[in-house]
Amino acid sequence: MTLHYATQNSATHAFKDRLDALCEGIPQLQLLTYYEHPLPQDKVDVDFQRRGRVSACAFSDKDITSRARFYLCGPGPMMQGVTEALLSRGVPRFDIFKEEFRSPIGPLTGVNRSFNVHFARSKCQATWTPSDGSLLAFGETLGISMPSGCRVGQCESCVLGVIEGHVSHLTPMLGAEDDKCFACQAVPSSNLVLDI
Residues contributing to the site for ligand FES (CB under 6 A) = 148-151, 153-158, 182, 184
At its nearest, how many Å lie between ligand FES and the CB of residue 151?
A: 5
Count Cβ atoms within 10 A of the Cβ of residue 133 and give its class: 0-12 exposed, 13-18 middle, 19 or more buried.
buried
Residue 73 and residue 188: Cα distance in Å, rounded? Answer: 30
State the nearest-atom distance from the C-beta of 113 to ligand FES, in Å.
Answer: 22
Tell me the C-alpha distance between 151 and 157, whole Å.
Answer: 9
Q: How far is the CB of 53 from ligand FES (least distance, A)?
A: 27
Q: Rounded to an integer, what distance in angstroms lies between the CA atom of residue 182 and that of residue 194?
A: 11
**36 vs 156, beta carbon nearer ligand FES:** 156
How does strand 180-182 pair with strand 159-164? antiparallel
Residue 57 or 73 with smaller CB distance to ligand FES: 73
Cα(182)–Cα(116) distance, rounded to whole angstroms?
18
Q: How far is the CB of 98 from ligand FES (least distance, A)?
A: 14
Q: Which is nearer to ligand FES, 27 or 106 (CB)?
A: 106
What is the DSSP-derived secondary structure letter of residue 2? Answer: E
Residue nearer to ligand FES on the CB measure, 54 or 192: 192
